[in-house]
């Protein structure tokens, strides 16, 4: 079983298309397709199937992509262990933040990271739609995401999802509004009232 071919499968799971996988690995799309065909032949199971104009992973493909992620993690751990004996403990972590999360968390985080010898930290700003947060793990070690539907929307094989906080929403209304006397509102309280809102999917 060729580890490089497993890496291609893992990238495809993360990036969702042959073209994006090829770009990430600096090879041609035809090379990616050929390596996946070879891997399928080696394993004797179908890993990828056509889906419209593109492809998608089968159940076996997702399972093998998750296994490839575990292998890559073990390899990185082994390399880090060797490096710690050669030049002392060092590691670098890259993280993606959406703007309001960066404003809230980065100052304290950078202060703590600076106190850890050998730890490098790169912060990047990303704010895609909800469905596009999970694919960012192909490029970052940690991705901070937001969703109005809870952390379950990010669940996928090979991805660890850790809920950090639930953000309360403020509701503004005239002082004479029937609900103005309540200290706390539920969705049931406000569902039948007219709203000034934002586009669907924006968590405000």
Per residue in 10-23, pLDDT tens?
888 888 888 888 88
Q: Which pLDDT does position 84 carry in this prediction? A: 67
For the segment 152-166, the average pLDDT, to the nearest whole number, is: 85
Residue range 120-153, pLDDT digits in tens: 899 999 988 888 888 888 889 999 999 888 888 8
The yes-or-no verdict on residue 200 having pLDDT over 60 is: yes
**pLDDT top residue among 163 and 156:** 163
**Cβ–Cβ under 8 Å, residues 50 and 20:** no
**65 pLDDT band (50/70/90 cuts)?**
confident
Whole-number Å distance between alpha carbons of 29 and 201: 33
**55 pLDDT band (50/70/90 cuts)?**
confident
For the segment 161-166, the average pLDDT, to the nearest whole number, is: 90
The number of residues in the chain equals 204
Percent of the chain with pLDDT over 90: 21
**pLDDT top residue among 86 and 139:** 139
Beta strands in the chain (DSSP E): 48-51, 54-57, 91-97, 119-125, 142-143
β-partners of residue 123 are 95
Of 161, 159, 160, give the one whose Cα is nearest residue 14. 159
CB proximity list for 148: less than 8 A, separation 6 or greater = 130, 201, 203
Order of strands across the sheet that contains 119-125: 119-125, 91-97, 142-143
Q: Which pLDDT does position 77 carry in this prediction? A: 80
CA dihedral 57, 62, 64, 69 (to 10 degrees): 120
For the segment 162-181, the average pLDDT, to the nearest whole number, is: 89
Of 103, 71, 73, give the one whose Cα is nearest residue 91. 73
What is the maximal distance between C-alpha atoms in the chain? 72
The yes-or-no verdict on residue 201 having pLDDT over 90 is: no
């Amino acid at each position: 079983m060729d580890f490089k071919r497993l890496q291609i499968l893992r990238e495809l799971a993360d990036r969702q298309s042959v073209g994006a996988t090829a770009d990430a690995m600096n090879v041609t799309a035809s090379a990616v397709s050929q390596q996946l065909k070879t891997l399928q032949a080696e394993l004797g199971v179908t890993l990828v199937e056509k889906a419209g104009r593109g492809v998608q992973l089968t159940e076996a493909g997702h399972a093998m992509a998750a296994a490839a992620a575990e292998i890559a993690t073990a390899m990185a751990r082994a390399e880090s262990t060797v490096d710690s004996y050669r030049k002392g403990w060092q590691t670098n972590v890259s993280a993606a933040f959406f703007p309001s999360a960066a404003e809230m968390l980065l100052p304290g985080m950078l202060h703590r990271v600076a106190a850890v010898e050998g730890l490098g930290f790169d912060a990047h700003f990303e704010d895609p739609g909800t469905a596009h947060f999970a694919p960012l793990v192909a490029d970052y070690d940690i991705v901070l995401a937001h969703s109005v539907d809870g952390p379950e929307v990010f669940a996928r094989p090979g991805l660890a999802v850790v809920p950090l906080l639930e953000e309360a929403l403020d509701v503004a209304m005239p002082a004479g509004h029937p609900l103005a006397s309540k200290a706390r509102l539920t969705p049931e309280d406000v569902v039948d009232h007219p709203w000034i809102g934002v586009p669907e999917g924006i968590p405000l």
